[in-house]
Amino acid sequence: MKVIILGGDGFCGWPTSLHLSKVGHEVIIVDNLSRRNIDNELEAGSLTPISPMGVRLKAWQEISGKKINFYNIDIARHYEQLVQLLDQEQPDAIVHFAEQRAAPYSMKSSHHRRYTVDNNINATHNTLCAIAELGLDTHLVHLGTMGVYGYGTSGMKIPEGYLDIEVVTEDGERIPQQILYPPNPGSIYHMTKTQDQLLFAYYNKNDGIRITDLHQGIVWGTDTEDTKRDERLINRFDYDGDYGTVLNRFLMQAAIGYPLTVHGTGGQTRAFIHIQNTVRCIELALQYPPAKGERVKILNQMTETHRIRDLAELVAELTGSEVAYVDNPRKEAAENDLKVDNRCFLEMGLEPTTLAEGLLYEVTEVAKKYAHNADVSKIPCTSVWTKEQKAGIPQVKEQVTSNTGKT
C-alpha cells in the first residue's frame, strides 16, 4: 500500500520508514526536520552520526533498490501544502509521528510549553482536517503514549484504550458503559496526546475517519535490522537530559564511566518496547485497520514493564557502573505499580525483544562505540516541572571525571 510517514526523519519515524519500505509498501516521508533543529537549539545532537535526509535516502536506494520520496513540510503551519500532497498521493495510510515528543523539553519554559501544544495539536488537527476535506478513506495510524493513562492510580491492569465502567445514578441504578480511559498526563507533552485523543474521537464520529492510536511505552534500542545495513542509515541515539530516555541515559553514563543517575527513589514503573518491535507494530497496525464505521482502535504498544531502579541495577551489573540517586525534576508519585494489557499486538503476531537480549549490544555497539561524541554536560535533566523546583535543579551528588576528555 502507499503510506505517508509524517515525522519520518525522527527516532521512530526513520526506522519505521525503512521497515515499511522493505516489506513492500510505497513509502513517502514528510518531515520539517524540526528534531535536527532542536539538536541545534539544545547543543546536544545524536550520539550516533546520523546522515542528512538526502544521504539516508540515497543509501537506502543503493542497498535495498527501493525509493522513498521526501517532502519537507511543516504540517502544523502549512496546511495547504499538506492538502496538496494528500490530494496528489491519495495514500492508503498515514503514520503520524510528527509531534514534539519529549516530556522534559515540553517543560523547559513557557516557550517550550507553548511550542509543544501549538505544534502537536495543529499537526494532528491539520492531518485530520485534510483527510476529511478531501474525503479520503485513508487509515490514520498515530503514535500516542502510555503516558496518557497516568501511572498506577487505581492498581488495576490498564486496558487497551477503553474502560468498562458502571455509572451509578441517583436511584442507585448501575448503568454499564465503555469510555475512553480517563487521562492523567504527567507533562505538557503527554497532555497534548490526551487532547489528540479527543480530536480522534470527534473526527471518527463526525467524519468517519478510520484511526488507530498506539499508546507506546518508552522505546529503547537504536538500530533495527534495516538501519544496521549501512552506517549512513544509522538511527539517532539521544542521551541528553531532554530527549534521552531513561535507559539510553543509563547506557551512556555506563559507557563513559559516569554514575547512573536515578531520579528520586527510582520506584517509578514504566512500560518499554524495543525499536525493532515498534516498527513491527506499525506494520501490524497497517495490516489490521479498523473497519469503516468502527470507533478509534487503541492498542498498547509495549512489551515489558520495569521499575527504574531495577533497570539501573541491571545496567550497573552489566557494566560495573555505580548508581547515584538525585532529586526528581518531575512532579509525580515516587513509587507506582504498572500492569498493562497488550494482548492485541501479541495476538497479531508480535514477538517481543526483551531487555535481557538486546542490552549488551546497546552498551558495546552504540554507547561505547560512539562515546567520543558525547558531551557529558548534557546528560543531567535540567528541565523542572514547577516554579518551586527551579530553586533546586537536580545535580549528581558527587562529581566524577569523564573518561572522554569532554566535560
Q: Rounded to the nearest whole angstrom, what is the least distance from the CB of residue 134 to its own copies in the complex?
A: 9
Catalytic-residue membership of 48 = no
C-alpha cell of residue 157: 491492569
Specify whether the CB–CB gap between 334 and 272 falls below 8 A: no
Point out which span in 29-37, 204-212, 255-263, 305-313 binds its own copies (CB under 8 A).
204-212
Among the candidate windows 26-34, 138-146, 178-186, 223-231, which touches its own copies by CB under 8 A?
A: 178-186
Asked whether the CA dihedral 371, 372, 378, 380 is positive or negative, the reply is positive
- Classify burial at 157, counting beta carbons within 10 Å of its beta carbon; exposed 0-12, middle 13-18, buried 19 or more: exposed
Stretch 51-110 residues interacting with its own copies (CB under 8 A): 79, 83, 110
Per-residue interface string for the shown chain with its own copies, residues 4-23, x marking contact by CB under 8 A: --------------------
Minimum CB distance to its own copies, residue 71 (Å): 20
| C-beta of 147 vs 352, nearer to its own copies | 147
Q: Which range in 92-100, 124-132, 246-254, 353-361 contacts its own copies by CB under 8 A? A: 124-132
Contact criterion met (CB below 8 Å) for 236 and 48: yes
Residue 65 vs 155, nearer CB to its own copies: 155
Residue 362's nearest CA partner among 233, 238, 243, 270 is: 238
Span 358-397, contacts to its own copies by CB under 8 A? 385-387
Member of 51, 84, 122, 382 binding its own copies (CB under 8 A): 122
> Which residue lies nearer to its own copies by CB, 135 or 405?
135
115 is catalytic: no
The side-by-side arrangement of strands in the sheet containing 304-307 is 218-220, 269-274, 304-307
Q: Which of 108, 193, 297, 378 is catalytic?
A: 193
213 in helix, strand or coil? strand
231 near its own copies, rule: CB under 8 A: no
* Region of 42-50, 179-187, 267-275, 357-365 interacting with its own copies (CB under 8 A): 179-187
By DSSP bridging, strand 174-180 and strand 162-168 are antiparallel
Closest CA to 125 of 198, 180, 185, 175: 198
- 4: nearest Cα among 101, 127, 133: 127
Helix (H, G, I), strand (E, B) or coil at 321: coil
Whether 193 sits among the annotated catalytic residues: the reply is yes
Applying CB under 8 A, among 170, 293, 399, 405 the residue interacting with its own copies is 170
Decide whether 129 or 323 has the Cβ nearer to its own copies. 129
Q: Are 246 and 193 in contact (CB under 8 A)?
A: no
Name the residue nearer to its own copies (CB basis): 205 or 369: 205
CB 96, CB 127: distance < 8 Å: yes
Please report which residue ranges of 152-301 form alpha helices under DSSP H.
Answer: 188-207, 246-255, 275-287
Please report whether residue 194 would count as binding its own copies according to CB under 8 A: yes
Beta-strand pair 269-274/304-307:
antiparallel
Nearest-5° angle of CA 158, CA 164, CA 166?
A: 130
Our finding on whether 154 is near its own copies (CB under 8 A) is: yes
Q: Which is catalytic among the residues 189, 203, 243, 258?
A: 189
Which residues of this protein are in contact with its own copies, per CB under 8 A?
Answer: 79, 83, 110, 113-114, 117-118, 121-122, 125-126, 129-130, 132-133, 135, 154-157, 163-170, 174-175, 177, 179-180, 182-183, 185, 188, 191, 194-195, 198-199, 202, 205-208, 331, 385-387
Catalytic residues: 145, 189, 193
